[in-house]
Chain A
Amino acid sequence: MSAAELSKLSTVERHKLVAVPIDGQGLKTLLEAGMIWLKTNQQTVNSLNVFPVPDGDTGTNMVLTMQAAFDEVATSGTSNVGQFAHSIARGALMGARGNSGVILSQIWRGFARALDDHPTMDVKLFADALEEAKTTAYKGVVRPVEGTILTVMKDIATQATVSVQRTSSFTEVLWDIVETANASVERTPDLLPILKQAGVVDSGGKGLMLIFEGMWRFINGDSLDKAVTEVLPLSDMDLENALETVEEGQDYEVVIDFTPKSTFNLEEYYEELSKIGTSIQVGEGDGIYRMHIHVPLDSRYLPIDHTMGLGTIQKVMMENLVAQMDERKNNKNPKLKLTLVQPDQIAVVAVSPGSGLSRIFASLGVAAIVEGGQTMNPSIKELLASFEDLPTDKIIILPNNKNIIMAAKEAASMTVKNVAVIPTISVPQGLSAMFRLIPDNDFDETVEAMNEAMTDVETGEITTATRTVEIDGVQVENGQVIALHNGKLIASTQTIEEACEALLIAANTIDYERITLFYGEDIQLSHVNDLADKIRTIYPSHEIEVHEGGQPHYQLIISIE
């Protein structure tokens, strides 16, 4: 079931699914609820990292480990809770990712061992299993570091043992556990100095707490698909697409940047805002908060008044959505639709020199675009920023320019993610490589396939010389049109037509099937169309395509394949 489906169930239905004593199927539902709640809060957990410590994406790693555990039992109809738990443990072991994932798999392993051949699990056995889970988790390391997921697991186990003396209600025991886990997570910075320095709590411990919280929320009838205190990194705020979900009567969009007071309570803030409007998002970055909301015309000042009491407002942006929607409909440059990658999929970052090319890359499944090209090389920081926030650690970069390959490699070496740079020196090479992308395939195989595909294409570039020079035996006068074949200067001519002709001959076009022209911002479409017609008369059996590239300086980028 999806998060939304699980969340829609009534309390009665939920209790029926998780009947005490709990059998295999009941445990499956609990596992799923824990996993979904962790997934919902994945980014929050990821953001707790003390960069650059090892194990960069705790949230993602834990979600993937839980997912592997769940996949193992997803179709199982076993009602014996002991056998069921062993399957979960096996799945978690096989799919364990990162430090926190390995610890989580040990926790499940211990949990399963305690249940062994028991057909069902009552609260007493649940507490015993948690105790065994803790013991097993601690066995995995010589020098356990306190203030981590291990400490949180220890506190959970201790609490469970105490709670079952008092009550036999599963819900109550679970609630005690969640409360204890929460307090334990809050204490982690006192135990581990590096957390205190970074001003965060332990991410693994938080993840473990969320799993139990998810189970409790499910039984208690709470929703699992919306994080209550969701604070996104600023770069993740989806303000552009928020426009597409404009509701009737919500005419104004208000965005407020503010620094909250120390007493600021995000949960309460969300609650107040939800009384005023819709499409609420709160993001955080560099110490400031950014709030986004859609409100009706007459309450457009309410969010400002409300926020004013809670912190210092730095900036307010207000826009009339109705007007903006109209403008959007007439806009010829719609926002890029980048591919949303799922955890564990391969994400591609492409460097693109023009808006048209960006759109083409986006349509081929690129997850992030960095603007840059010949005269505007993107910085290592920009490259890093483009993929650091993607929810996967399999990244492929297409630099699409000789001068950017170094920066891309540098960026690749500065992250904990698994990054491959395909050394594409031109846009056509990058596009050609994109055709081989299958996001769910093996990473190394994909990189190899893309590397091979890259050279399947011949690249031509037509531009204007900016000085008088002689290179590669070609004499060039300032202002002449020059043609480059695979980055090498091959001709200098008076017109673009001549340059194209020389280029197509140099590239052995006759041996290929398709010619694609990407025209830049310095050339008229009518001119390009004329040019395409001329090429068609010379190469009548070739397929000829014209696309807007939007790149500066280069009138044409030509792909021959």
Chain B
Amino acid sequence: MAETENKHNELGSILIQKSAIASIARQSTLQSYGVVGLAPKNLIENIRQLFNNDAKYGVEVEFDHDGLVIDIYIVVEYGTRIKSITNSVVKSVKYNVEKTVGLPVRRINVHVRGLRISNMD
């Protein structure tokens, strides 16, 4: 799949990089209540993250004919209701990406990669 998404208007074309969309998704995920961090998608990413800060860390963006497919890998605070948290991640990422980029979001998959335990009850 292409690294950029093309949009045209009468003056020319607008290219939006996947990493731009990933940053937006990442920001709104981290602002969602209950999410305490993003997690690497795979081992390679885990290693790459050691050397430089990757905008796409923990977020995967794909273009498809009907819109964007976004995968998000998160760590959740222990002792919260995961279902509610992932629901609000989906809602706020969809809202923020669609609002700022103007491309329809077709799917958002949230992967809960771990829990952070700050207090045992």
B121 proximal to A (CB < 8 A): yes
List A residues 93-126 near B (Cβ within 8 Å). 93-94, 96-99, 101-103, 105-106, 109, 112-113
B4 proximal to A (CB < 8 A): no
Q: Which A residues touch B80, using CB under 8 A?
A: 93, 96, 102, 105-106, 140
Q: Which A residues touch B42, using CB under 8 A?
A: none
B20 proximal to A (CB < 8 A): no
Q: Which of A52-60, A256-264, A270-278 contacts B (4 or more CB under 8 A)?
A: A52-60
Bound together, the chains give a CA A139 to CA B95 distance in angstroms of 24
Asked whether A139 and B118 contact (CB < 8 A) given A53-B95, A96-B81, A105-B81, the answer is: yes
Q: Which B residues touch A105, using CB under 8 A?
A: 80-81
Q: Which B residues touch A102, using CB under 8 A?
A: 33-34, 80-81, 84-85, 88
A136 proximal to B (CB < 8 A): yes
Q: Which B residues touch A143, using CB under 8 A?
A: 30-31
Q: Which A residues touch B85, using CB under 8 A?
A: 102
Report yes or no: B79 in contact with A103, Cβ–Cβ below 8 A: no
Asked whether A142 and B37 contact (CB < 8 A) given A97-B84, A102-B84, the answer is: yes
Report yes or no: A141 in contact with B32, Cβ–Cβ below 8 A: yes
Q: Which A residues touch B60, using CB under 8 A?
A: none
Of B36, B77, B118, most A-chain CB atoms within 10 Å: B77
Chain B 66-95, CB-CB to A under 8 Å as 1, else 0, gives 000000000001011100110110011001
Interface of B is mostly: mixed
Report yes or no: A93 in contact with B79, Cβ–Cβ below 8 A: yes
List A residues 44-70 near B (Cβ within 8 Å). 52-55
Q: Which B residues touch A109, using CB under 8 A?
A: 79, 121
Partner among B30, B32, B88, B121 whose Cβ is within 8 Å of the Cβ of A113: B121
B35 proximal to A (CB < 8 A): yes
Q: Which A residues touch B100, using CB under 8 A?
A: none
B9 proximal to A (CB < 8 A): no
Q: Which B residues touch A89, using CB under 8 A?
A: 121
Q: Which B residues touch A86, using CB under 8 A?
A: 121
Cβ distance A133 to chain B, nearest Cβ, rounded Å: 12
Bound together, the chains give a CA A52 to CA B121 distance in angstroms of 36
Asked whether A113 and B91 contact (CB < 8 A) given A97-B84, A141-B33, the answer is: no
Q: Which A residues touch B118, using CB under 8 A?
A: 139
Bound together, the chains give a CA A172 to CA B88 distance in angstroms of 37
B119 proximal to A (CB < 8 A): yes
State the interface size on chain B (CB cutoff 8 A). Answer: 22
Cβ distance B93 to chain A, nearest Cβ, rounded Å: 9
Bound together, the chains give a CA A141 to CA B29 distance in angstroms of 10
A416 proximal to B (CB < 8 A): yes
Cβ distance B78 to chain A, nearest Cβ, rounded Å: 10
Report yes or no: B119 in contact with A141, Cβ–Cβ below 8 A: no
A316 proximal to B (CB < 8 A): no
A510 proximal to B (CB < 8 A): no
Cβ distance B46 to chain A, nearest Cβ, rounded Å: 19
Chain B 85-121, CB-CB to A under 8 Å as 1, else 0, gives 1011001100100000000000000000000001101
List A residues 132-170 near B (Cβ within 8 Å). 136, 139-143, 145
Cβ distance B20 to chain A, nearest Cβ, rounded Å: 19
Report yes or no: A141 in contact with B36, Cβ–Cβ below 8 A: yes
Q: Which A residues touch B33, using CB under 8 A?
A: 99, 102-103, 140-141
Q: Which B residues touch A53, using CB under 8 A?
A: 92, 95
Bound together, the chains give a CA A145 to CA B35 distance in angstroms of 13
Asked whether A54 and B88 contact (CB < 8 A) given A102-B34, A103-B33, the answer is: yes
Cβ distance A117 to chain B, nearest Cβ, rounded Å: 12
Cβ distance A103 to chain B, nearest Cβ, rounded Å: 6
List A residues 381-432 near B (Cβ within 8 Å). 416
Bound together, the chains give a CA A141 to CA B31 distance in angstroms of 7
Report yes or no: A142 in contact with B92, Cβ–Cβ below 8 A: no
Q: Which A residues touch B88, using CB under 8 A?
A: 54-55, 98-99, 102
Bound together, the chains give a CA A153 to CA B37 distance in angstroms of 23
Bound together, the chains give a CA A142 to CA B118 distance in angstroms of 13
Cβ distance A63 to chain B, nearest Cβ, rounded Å: 15
Asked whether A112 and B121 contact (CB < 8 A) given A141-B36, A142-B35, the answer is: yes
Asked whether A54 and B95 contact (CB < 8 A) given A93-B79, A106-B79, A106-B80, the answer is: yes
Asked whether A416 and B79 contact (CB < 8 A) given A96-B84, A142-B35, the answer is: no
Bound together, the chains give a CA A99 to CA B90 distance in angstroms of 12
Report yes or no: B92 in contact with A54, Cβ–Cβ below 8 A: yes
Asked whether A99 and B95 contact (CB < 8 A) given A86-B121, A93-B79, A139-B118, the answer is: no
Bound together, the chains give a CA A105 to CA B33 distance in angstroms of 12
List B residues 14-72 near A (Cβ within 8 Å). 30-37
Cβ distance B7 to chain A, nearest Cβ, rounded Å: 22
Bound together, the chains give a CA A416 to CA B92 distance in angstroms of 11
27 contacts between A and B (CB under 8 A): A54-B91, A54-B95, A55-B88, A86-B121, A93-B81, A94-B81, A96-B80, A96-B81, A98-B84, A98-B87, A99-B32, A99-B84, A101-B84, A102-B33, A102-B34, A102-B85, A102-B88, A106-B79, A109-B79, A112-B121, A113-B119, A139-B36, A139-B77, A140-B34, A141-B33, A142-B36, A142-B37
Q: Which 3 A-B pairs have the closest CB atoms?
A: A54-B91, A96-B81, A54-B92
List 14 extra interface pairs beyond A89-B121, A99-B84, A142-B36, CB under 8 A: A54-B95, A55-B91, A93-B80, A98-B87, A102-B80, A102-B85, A106-B77, A106-B79, A106-B80, A113-B119, A139-B119, A140-B34, A141-B33, A141-B77
A contacts, CB < 8 Å to B: 52-55, 86, 89, 93-94, 96-99, 101-103, 105-106, 109, 112-113, 136, 139-143, 145, 416
